[in-house]
Amino acid sequence: MASAFEGPDGPFVYARYGNPTVRALENAVADLEGGAGALAVGSGMGAITSTLWALLRPGDHVVAQNCLYGGTQGVLGDLRERWGVDVTPVAAGDPEQVRAAIRPNTRVLFLETIVNPTGEVVDLPRLAAMAREAGVTTVVDNTFATPLLCRPIEHGADVVVHSATKYLGGHSDVIGGLMVFADAATRLAVQERTAEFGAVLDPFAAWLIVRGLQTLGVRVPRQCASAQVLAERLAGHSAVAAVHYPGLPDHPGHGDARRLLSGGFGGVLSFELAGGLRAGRAFVGAVRLASLAPSLGDVKTLVMHPASTSHRQLSAERLAQAGIAEGLIRVSVGIEDVEDLWADIEQALKAAERHH
């Protein structure tokens, strides 16, 4: 019996340390991402928090993309207050700004493949190489891109995190998170922490995510194609002040997106309504086919207002730094017919124009 507890990859004798269904999910996602191994936990935030807690110590320093998901920024802020971990936000689209931010005590560079909700895409290979040269671990949140569009480990990332609640699960009926590692040693170090925290994924949730993976290759290409069509049409609409989607040639990250992503530019787009806050509220209140929900990656189209949901923790100053306007609407495109989606968006835009 004692030998069964000696290592994380031994017999499955205690579910907090491993389960056959959870391990099957971990192996599948590790294969999809091209990693040496993976760990599944109870949520995407569980994956992010477990990774950071395992990699950081009091007094360490983190360089973080300045427009990360609000929950990630919340964890970094908590680490600053509780552990004295210093965090430097950077415009990661400027590699020299990232280089200048790295210090002798920098331990982590945290990036997103496609930024929520502005669609920013950075030169990941260059940034990861810069971090590796300085002995810094690169952690990449690949939730928006999925391994179908980008495999960050192939571009130099050390750890990839996912909210499996989103595209990997694909149906908004399960909560889970994944961490994928470029090397087995990092996986072991993080696994020790997750087992201690109890941030485990239950087997049925793992089964639901495995089920979702079976249709990932069908869902994501359709969502990307529809998002491209909608972004192009929104860009020419009188009620829209700006569209943020890396598939548009005038998007500031378009060049990096073309080099980094393959098979599409993601299924999420955002746009700013000319009427600001009132127009934004009118728009989300008028959609009929789409649903108002603070999630993404579902087979059903979801719309949301980031300033009052995912980024609600941020001050007005940080919202501005993240490029989130009062009238910003995020759309996670589902698998519905694109013409039906456009008809719904058009009628909601008319409602928004009446509140301009």
For the CA atoms of 282, 286, 287, 293, the dihedral, rounded to the nearest 10 degrees, stands at 60
Residue 141 appears among annotated catalytic residues: yes
Angle at 165 between CA 284 and CA 248, to 5 degrees: 55
Residue 16 appears among annotated catalytic residues: yes
Task: Decide if 109 contacts 129 (C-beta within 8 A).
Answer: no
Amino acid type, 51: T
The single residue of 17, 23, 60, 69 carrying the catalytic annotation is 69
DSSP for 210-223 reads HHHHTTHHHHHHHH
The single residue of 23, 166, 187, 330 carrying the catalytic annotation is 166
3-state helix, strand, coil in the chain (%, to 5): 45, 15, 40
Amino acid type, 243: V
Taking the C-alpha atoms of residue 19 and residue 12, their distance in angstroms, rounded to an integer, is 6
Helix axes of 338-353 and 216-234: crossing angle, nearest 10 degrees: 40
Residue 166 appears among annotated catalytic residues: yes
The single residue of 141, 158, 256, 344 carrying the catalytic annotation is 141
Q: How many residues appear in the chain? A: 356
Return the HEC string of 107-166: EEEEEECCCCCCCCCCCHHHHHHHHHHCCCEEEEECCCCHHHHCCHHHHCCCEEEEECCC
Residue 167 appears among annotated catalytic residues: no
Q: Tokens 């108002």 identify what position?
A: 292
Taking the C-alpha atoms of residue 192 and residue 46, their distance in angstroms, rounded to an integer, is 14
Taking the C-alpha atoms of residue 42 and residue 79, their distance in angstroms, rounded to an integer, is 20
- Start-to-end CA distance of the chain, whole Å, equals 70
The residues assigned a catalytic role are: 16, 69, 141, 166
